[in-house]
Structure 1
């Protein structure tokens, strides 16, 4: 894989991580609102955990490219 392709792929991963962080923040706010209203948030918290795991995996990709 050439250098330009690696840089393009890395930039894409960084964009995806940033988007994912925004999704996590939105999900956290939605869960907090549900909890304030007394709703069950077990499934929402499970989804949030999964989302964080996906984002964590994406966030580790740049280190794999450079190492």
Structure 2
């Protein structure tokens, strides 16, 4: 997955997790609340992976540009 797709999937998991938690809380279902918290955490990690991929790409592109400029 690329950085953009990781970020998008992460945000989607965070949103779905928040909804699950809210619904679980509203109906008194602890299992749904826990599932929502886990899904939200998974989304945060996935978004962070996407952010790190973007940073790594930027660093690589900057280094490559500097090397090519010197050639």
Scaled by the length of structure 2, the TM-score of the pair is 0.60
Specify every segment of 5 or more residues in structure 2 that has no aligned partner in the other structure, as ranges: 60-71
| Higher relative helix content | 2
Structure 1 unaligned spans of 5+: 1-8
Corresponding pairs, count: 57
So what's the TM-score if we normalise by structure 1? 0.63
What's the C-alpha RMSD, in Å, of the aligned pairs?
2.1
Q: More relative contact order in 1 or in 2 (CA 8 Å, sep 6+)?
A: 1
